Structure 1
Amino acid sequence: MAKITSRAKQAEITKNKIYECGVKLIRKHGFDQVTVEQIAKEAGVSVGTYYYYFASKYELFREIFKRADDYFVTDVAGQLKADDCKGQIVEYFEKYVDLNYADGIEMIKKLYTSENKMFLTKGRAMQTILQSIIEEWQVKAQIPKHKSAAEITRMLFIVARGVVFDWCLHDGETDLKNEMKNIISNMVDGSMKTFSATIESP
């Protein structure tokens, strides 16, 4: 049993090394300019070993987004400190900012392109966790139900990606966390005002 555990641990180490070397090269050169052969060489493994862990170069790219989703599952879901609707949504996107900071401006620049369709993938944990939060507040009548939680989630992420893209345009010189907080706050406030006006209208 110990031998199997040791082998599994070594496999995880090898996979992480390939992943980290791939991310390093993508951050430096861009996804399209990096080959599997270059990643394998950087990681000190054979091309065959690379394909044992990742079916393609795109599969490694998908791993970047998978790990982002894993972060929201393990570090964000059920752990938000705010106890009000607006506070939780704002805090959620502060965590999104933290993730972008961790990747670094150069990596984010490579990810935020029109060619990257991973942003359009539906059902990702990052989205479903926020959707669940919004659904809870809709039940409590804190968020209007004229739009579904899924649609509100989609709109919030469109706005958030726009804020991150603007950060990229400014080469990371703007205060991403403060900008995200202000814009998401204003968006939530606007939604709540619309809801209140609808209730109060004769």
Structure 2
Amino acid sequence: MSGMTTRKLKALETKKALLETGLELFNKKGFDNVTVDEIAKTCNVSKGAFYVHFKTKYDIFNEKFKDIDDFYSTFLDKIPKNISAREKILTFFEAQMVYLRDNLGKDLIRTVYMNAMSLTIDKNHYLANPERNLYQIIYSFVQEGIDNKEFKEGIASEQASKLITRCMRGTIYDWMIFGDDLDLTQEITDFTSAVMDGLKR
């Protein structure tokens, strides 16, 4: 049993090293200019070891977004149940921006987003996938706001959710452009509040 535990720990360490190395190389050279061979060689592992953990180099981005989405799910339990849907959305977005800024950092987020956007965007792309935890959480808050008559009648939950999540993506994009001159938490609060004011009943 202890041998299995050691192997699992070693496998986790290898996967983490491949993930971090891949992101670092993408940042330095651009996604298209990095090969699986180079990632494996830089990590001092075989190409086969890479394929044990990832099907393609594209999956490195998928893995990073899974990590980020895991944080969103964890934080959800910390949001008070007795506040309005509007307050839940703002609380969630503020925590998201603090996490991106303080835990992941602008350089990593820029690498992940910019390289992801250089790939073909379709309905299955993780940035647009409505099944992502992030979008499901916002959708649930919007539906709650409509059910509680916080938001006006006649607007579909899907449409309202799209408008609100664009606030998040727009804020992240501006952060990449303006850097530390932009106050992430203030920006997301102001932007999202303005949009939700338009959705008020």
For 1:108, give the aligned amino acid. I
User: Larger deviation: 166-175 or 154-163?
Assistant: 166-175
RMSD: 2.0
1:50 aligns with 50
* The one of 179, 192, 200 aligned to 1:171: 179
CA contact (8 A) 2:69 2:132 kept: yes
- The answer as to whether partners of 1:31 and 1:110 remain within 8 angstroms in 2 is no
Query: Which of 151, 154, 160 is matched with 1:143 structurally?
Result: 151
1:115 matched to 2:118? The reply is yes
Spell out, residue by residue over 1:23-56, the C-alpha distance to the aligned partner (whole angstroms, 9 max, x if none). 2222333322322222212222111111111111
2:22 match: 22
Asked whether the 8 Å contact 2:85–2:144 carries over to 1, the reply is no
State the alpha-carbon separation in 2 of the partners of residues 72 and 32 from structure 1.
29
The CA distance in 2 between the partners of 1:148 and 1:30, in whole Å, is: 39
Q: TM-score, normalised by structure 2?
A: 0.84
Cα deviation digits, residues 75-133 of structure 1 (max 9, x gap): x2222147222211111111221343133222333334443533112211111112112
In the TM superposition, residue 145 of structure 1 has moved relative to its aligned partner by: 4.0
Gaps in structure 2 of 5+ consecutive residues = none
- Please, which runs of 5 or more residues in structure 1 have no aligned partner? 196-202
* Contact persistence 1:40–1:50 (CA under 8 A): yes
Letter in 2 for 1:103: L
Contact 2:79 2:92 (8 Å CA) reproduced: yes
- Superposition pairs of residues 75-154 of structure 1, within 5 angstroms: 76-81=75-80, 83-101=83-101, 102-113=103-114, 114-116=117-119, 117=121, 118-154=126-162
